[in-house]
Structure 1
Amino acid sequence: MKLFQQTGWRWWWLMLLLLVADQLSKVWVIQNFSLGESISLLPVFNFTYARNYGAAFSFLGDASGWQRWLFTGIAVVVSLVLAVWLSRLQKSQWKLSLALALIICGAVGNLIDRSLYGYVVDFLHVFYQDWHYPIFNIADCAISIGAALLIWDSFGSDNKSSEVKS
């Protein structure tokens, strides 16, 4: 129990909540949309069902299929390394803990898609006039927010104060 209260794993409930939201939203999209179907919600935001066979920004998306296993392996290894790191963090290291928890959650969410479908289900489509950001999902949001927190933490006063004390 100490692992979930006194370490970075205290964010397990948020990871679980986001993972469930990610997976339920993807199942809903698969069941209610045809591939490529889009519904306008705002002048700059649509729900658009897309499949990503590659990594971020469809990197290697047009490869012959081997990339599925490469990205699956990378997600497993990264998630395991981050999970061990998370278990070694103190409760007071909340930014770093939250960052790693979000990255793990997003990686696992997309890993589940790759394992079940062979691709990642994307549906959040942000655009402005002729500019279109690559379509993404809740897991991608978790990874992006986690990465931003990781950067923020690297510049934070917590790191500087611990250096001064040592």
Structure 2
Amino acid sequence: MSKPTIRPMHSDDREAVVHLLGESDPWTTLGYTKEDWHRIFCPIPQGRDSYVIEFDGRVAGIAIVREKFLLGDYLELLGIAGWARGKGFGARLLGHIESIVFGRTNNLFACVSDFNAAARAFYKKQGYQEIGPMPNFLIPGSAEVLLRKTAGPARGKGQ
């Protein structure tokens, strides 16, 4: 039995990432298409840290982090393939991101769609606090909820 591997995203991962995001919620509900994802990932997002988690030679998930957001870093994207959900890959990938982020800053922020109950429960289980909603942020009638996980006050690490 192989173990999942986390590594920086390469351009060879683009098709697998586009496929996993293009066929899953919340992104389909938010109106993102495979064409949108092709544009976003061609080239790989610049100025950000992009990681994939791989299992049995397949990309099981993607995470993108932007440094320096609200006295911390921002998890721009965390996506797990449908076939890989419920197997701990999301928690493992998020834990990897957190170990990097909390080595340089005390705060990690993320957003989750208000209608995405599974993601909200996932982040809560991982220790994230819901800060507040941003109504009509991506689509009408829905809010993006800002989340924060902290290792302490921002002034505690070189901010």
What TM-score results when the alignment is normalised by the length of structure 2? 0.28
What TM-score results when the alignment is normalised by the length of structure 1? 0.28
Higher helix share: 1
Higher relative contact order (CA 8 A, sep 6+): 1
Question: Larger Rg: 1 or 2?
Answer: 1
